[in-house]
């Protein structure tokens, strides 16, 4: 978390004035949902969208098509602000990984890297118990 | 900590994006028979790959087997450099392959729920059998045993844990039993009782 923007005053009113040519697109793809967040290079969020906010509900949120629409929504909001280049960071094991990447490719934003940043513990916290279904 | 980061940075400089270490196997040093010939236009193949890997495997073993790559912009498991005019499907397949080689999805699924020591043993046995089967798939049965021996000999310095070998002990026991039976004197001594 980058602290220090407080000195500039509240940035909420200045949101429309920001012109960011380069940013980072984070895709968090879990099994039940896909969240696409567009931030600047430092990590401050510009806009976000998810499969749930796009109108899908329940099991359909986890589908790659829902991820596609979420990515499309998020990028559309940001292309108006003048973003041309981006980096893509994909997190999580869900089905939305491919769908979101496809939509990002089709949106016309130039991206140089696609990275997988799924967090891997070096044997850290104990995960929840096995499901007995 | 600073030294580890410096090592990681020097290591990452000499690695290309697709030669990624995997968690299940000793990373970065792959036997020549199992190496996948990867020819991609937009990735750099470093000729000094083995020397850097050997150095890190010796000096900083925990780092050499780590699944993450450290770059200036952050830590990641897999990275694909995108060319300008790359078709969408090609990019997707390349990314999927990079992720598969890094073992991300497998690792995620494993860590979703807690796995007991029994489950862990079963999983390791399954992985080992899959690995052995996969490596011997291309050769016929006459070469299979020698191939397995070669693999074992290669991986031996990296395998720290002891493997249970019930078959060998069973074989040792049966000849011992036979020897005992032969040593037993079942025959009556010769001569008359007088």
Span B86-138, pLDDT tens digits? 888 999 999 999 999 999 999 999 999 999 999 999 999 999 999 999 888 87
A14-41 burial, b for 16+ CB within 10 Å, e for fewer?
eeeeeebeebbbbbbbbeebbbbbbbbe
When the pLDDT of each residue in chain B is averaged and rounded to a whole number, the result is 68
Select the more confidently predicted residue: A1 or B134. Answer: B134
Do residues A17 and A58 make contact, with C-beta atoms less than 8 angstroms apart? Answer: no
Judged by CB atoms closer than 8 Å, whether chains meet at A115 and B78 is answered as yes
pLDDT score, position B46: 44
Judged by CB atoms closer than 8 Å, whether chains meet at B107 and A120 is answered as yes
Chain B touched by A133 (CB under 8 Å): no
Which band of pLDDT confidence, cut at 50, 70 and 90, is reported for residue B83? confident
Q: What are phi and psi of B74, to 5 degrees?
A: 150, 175
Do residues A71 and A53 make contact, with C-beta atoms less than 8 angstroms apart? Answer: no
Select the more confidently predicted residue: B52 or B97. Answer: B97
Chain A touched by B120 (CB under 8 Å): no
Give a yes or no: residue A126 inside a domain.
no
CATH number, domain with residue A47: 3.30.420.80
Give a yes or no: residue A48 inside a domain.
yes
C-alpha dihedral (A11, A15, A19, A24), degrees to nearest 10: 80
Q: Bin B191: left if φ > 0, else alpha if -120 < ψ < 50, else beta.
A: left
- On chain B, the residues whose CB falls within 8 A of the CB of A127 are 111-114
- On chain A, the residues whose CB falls within 8 A of the CB of B112 are 127
pLDDT score, position B12: 47
Give the tens place of pLDDT for each residue, A65-74: 999 999 999 9
**What are A94's two structure tokens?**
């869900």
CA B21 to chain A, closest CA, distance in angstroms equals 14
Judged by CB atoms closer than 8 Å, whether chains meet at A92 and B78 is answered as no
Select the more confidently predicted residue: A128 or B166. Answer: A128
The bridge status of strand A22-29 relative to strand A45-50 is: unpaired
Q: What is the mean pLDDT of residues B155-166?
A: 60
Give a yes or no: residue A122 inside a domain.
no
Give the tens place of pLDDT for each residue, B125-137: 999 999 999 888 8
Domain extent at residue A71: 25-116
Select the more confidently predicted residue: B20 or B137. Answer: B137
Q: What is the mean pLDDT of residues A91-96?
A: 92
Do residues B92 and A98 make contact, with C-beta atoms less than 8 angstroms apart? Answer: yes
Chain A touched by B104 (CB under 8 Å): yes
Q: What is the mean pLDDT of residues A48-71?
A: 94
pLDDT score, position B43: 45
Q: What is the mean pLDDT of residues B17-41?
A: 44
pLDDT score, position A97: 92
Judged by CB atoms closer than 8 Å, whether chains meet at A105 and B88 is answered as yes
Chain A touched by B77 (CB under 8 Å): yes
Question: Is the predicted pLDDT of residue A2 greater than 70, yes or no?
Answer: no
Chain A touched by B88 (CB under 8 Å): yes
Chain B touched by A121 (CB under 8 Å): yes
Chain B touched by A105 (CB under 8 Å): yes
The DSSP code for A93 is: S
pLDDT score, position B115: 93
Name residue, tokens 């940013």. A23
Lowest mean pLDDT among A42-56, B48-62, B74-88: B48-62
Q: What is the mean pLDDT of residues A25-39?
A: 95
Do residues A51 and A61 make contact, with C-beta atoms less than 8 angstroms apart? Answer: yes
Count of domains forming chain A:
1
Most confident among B45-54, B127-136, B184-193 (mean pLDDT)? B127-136
Give a yes or no: residue A132 inside a domain.
no
Query: For B14, how many CA atoms within 13 A lie in the half-sphere containing its CB?
Result: 16
3-state SS class at A17: helix
Give a yes or no: residue A8 inside a domain.
no
pLDDT score, position B36: 43
The DSSP code for A33 is: -
pLDDT score, position A23: 92
DSSP chain B: -HHHHHHHHHHHHH--TT----SSS--S---TTT------TTS---TTHHHHHHHHHHH-HHHHT-S-EEETTEEESEEEEPPTT--HHHHHHHHHHHHHHHTHHHHHHHHHS---HHHHHHHHHHHHHHHHHHHHTTS-HHHHHHHHHHHHHHHGGG--SPPP-HHHHHHHHHHHHHHHHHHS--SPPSS---
CA B142 to chain A, closest CA, distance in angstroms equals 41
CA B77 to chain A, closest CA, distance in angstroms equals 6
Give a yes or no: residue A5 inside a domain.
no
Judged by CB atoms closer than 8 Å, whether chains meet at A115 and B107 is answered as no
Give a yes or no: residue A130 inside a domain.
no
Judged by CB atoms closer than 8 Å, whether chains meet at B84 and A126 is answered as no
pLDDT score, position B84: 81
pTM over 0.80: no
The DSSP code for A109 is: -
């Amino acid at each position: 978390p980058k602290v220090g923007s407080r000195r500039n005053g509240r940035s909420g009113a200045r949101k429309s004035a920001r012109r960011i040519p380069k940013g980072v697109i984070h895709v968090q793809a879990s099994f039940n949902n896909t969240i696409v967040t567009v931030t600047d290079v430092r990590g401050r969020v510009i806009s976000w969208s998810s499969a749930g906010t796009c109108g899908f509900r329940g099991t359909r949120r986890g589908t790659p098509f829902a991820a596609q629409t979420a990515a499309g929504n998020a990028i559309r909001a940001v292309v108006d602000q003048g973003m041309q280049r981006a980096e893509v960071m994909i997190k999580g094991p869900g089905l939305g990984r491919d769908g979101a990447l496809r939509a990002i490719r089709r949106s016309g934003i130039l991206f140089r890297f696609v990275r997988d940043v799924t967090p891997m513990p070096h044997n850290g916290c104990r995960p929840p118990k096995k499901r007995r279904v | 900590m600073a030294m580890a980061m410096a090592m990681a940075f020097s290591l990452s400089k000499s690695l290309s994006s697709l030669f990624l270490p995997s968690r299940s196997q000793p990373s970065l040093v792959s036997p020549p028979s199992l190496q996948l010939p990867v020819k991609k236009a937009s990735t750099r193949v470093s000729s000094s790959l083995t020397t850097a890997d050997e150095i890190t495997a010796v000096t900083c073993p925990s780092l050499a087997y780590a699944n993450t790559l450290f770059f200036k912009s952050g830590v990641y498991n897999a990275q694909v450099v995108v060319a300008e005019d790359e078709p969408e499907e090609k990019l997707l397949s390349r990314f999927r392959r990079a992720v598969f080689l890094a073992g991300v999805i497998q690792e995620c699924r494993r860590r979703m729920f807690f796995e007991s020591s029994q489950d862990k043993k079963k999983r390791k046995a399954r992985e080992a059998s899959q690995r052995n089967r996969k490596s011997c798939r291309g050769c016929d049965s006459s070469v299979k045993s020698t191939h397995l021996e070669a693999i074992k000999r290669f991986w031996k310095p990296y395998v720290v844990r002891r493997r249970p070998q019930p078959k060998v002990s069973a074989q040792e026991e049966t000849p011992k039993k036979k020897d005992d039976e032969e040593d037993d004197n079942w025959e009556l001594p010769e001569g008359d009782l007088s």
